[in-house]
A and B are shown apart, each in its own frame.
Chain A
Amino acid sequence: MLSSRTWSIFLIAVLVGEFLINVSPAATAIIDALVVVAALTQFGWAQRSPLAIGDTAGRLLPAVALVALMRLLSLTMPVPSLPPVMWIVLAGGPLLVAVAATARLLVLNARDLGLTRRPRSVFTVSVIVLSAPAGLLLSAIAPYNPIESVGSPFFSGLVAAAVVCCAVIPEELVFRGILQPLLTARVGRLAVIVATLAFAATYVGSGSVVVVALLGFAGLAYGVDAARTGSLWGPLLGHSILSVTATVIGPALAHTPL
């Protein structure tokens, strides 16, 4: 029988793994591998019960496995001889496939993922607009940004496209598109907080408390916007602007002679 709290144990394990990443990335990989196997096995085992299809706790298991898989891929897919921006593509591509497989399994269509509704609220516009200064701030305070790039406009455009397509889109689909709505069915309004905690924890590896706090605050704003509007477009646009500003525009401005 599926325990209704198992998903939370797996989610806590993933968060512990994220906090361990600065000490031992290998330990993080082992924890995430165990969570992926255990969560998917438990989901499959629960299918023996006819009640499993509508079970809100059971539906969270593949979503939690997705968060663990995200880190496992980012630890195993990078090829050291390639530049870090390529590592994002290598880790993000398979993750997008996993997101599509999860949506198919849980029968989540584009509307469920928040991709069909256009947000028309002042809050959404504010979140999108404020993402640009947040990105500049992030670029200034982050102690080290592995994919920071200052090069030709063409190269910078490629970096921006890689960041948006292979990092921002998978992250938003995982946290605000799949995890948060499934959590809402289980824990109500607390879902935004839990999804934001999981999102912020994935930035612990940046090694900066300020970066984690800033991205946690941004994640909270994106989560609230997604919950209010039922649309993922606001978080997608805002997160894209934040990441591109922090990775490409901010460093370019810092290297431009006055």
Chain B
Amino acid sequence: MTSSINQAIVEFLRANNYDAVSTSAGLAAAAALVILLVQRETVRAWGGDRARRWIHALDIAAFPLLMSLATIVGLRLLDLVPPNALQ
């Protein structure tokens, strides 16, 4: 029993196809990532110690969300490949 993967999440993933999951929860994560990355680049342009600390704060979520986006995009690209092409 873990808090990260529980009954509600399993039911959510199994009741919907991956397209539905990635366009709801996945879209929220992708939007958050875009906002964080835009903010990161804006702050980086300011420069200085405080900007560096701000960037480190944004990096807390940027890398994990980037991995999440890569997973979603990767799986959706796999969906585009015809099943016969993988055999």
Contact = CB atoms under 8 A, between A and B. Distances in A.
B26 to A, nearest CB: 5
A45 to B, nearest CB: 8
Interface in A86-112: 87-88, 90-95, 97-98, 101-102, 104-105
Contacts of B9: 21, 25, 74-75, 78, 87, 146, 205
The residue among A69, A104, A168, A202 with the most chain B CB atoms within 10 A of its own CB is A69
Interface in A138-152: 138-139, 142-147
Interface stretch (A32-40, A184-192, A226-234): A32-40
Contact of B29 (A25, A33, A65, A80): A33
Nearest to A61: B57
Contacts of A72: 25, 28-29, 32, 65, 68
The binding surface of chain A is classed by DSSP as helix
A104 to B, nearest CB: 7
B38 to A, nearest CB: 11
B83 to A, nearest CB: 13
Given A25-B12, A73-B64, A76-B72, A101 B5 contact: no
A69 B59 CA distance: 12
Contacts of B24: 25-26, 29
Interface of B: 1-10, 12-14, 18, 21-22, 24-26, 28-29, 31-32, 35-36, 39, 43, 50-51, 53-61, 63-65, 67-68, 71-72, 75
A41 interface: yes
A87 B3 CA distance: 12
Contacts of A170: 4
A76 B56 contact: no
Contacts of B72: 76
A203 B51 CA distance: 37
Contacts of A168: 2
Contact of A80 (B14, B57, B65): B14
A25 B64 CA distance: 19
The residue among B10, B43, B75 with the most chain A CB atoms within 10 A of its own CB is B10
22 contacts: A21-B8, A26-B24, A29-B25, A30-B28, A37-B35, A44-B39, A47-B51, A69-B64, A72-B65, A73-B64, A76-B72, A77-B68, A79-B75, A91-B4, A94-B63, A97-B64, A101-B56, A101-B60, A101-B63, A147-B5, A202-B4, A206-B6
A26 B68 contact: no
Contacts of A66: 60
A14 to B, nearest CB: 12
Contacts of B14: 80
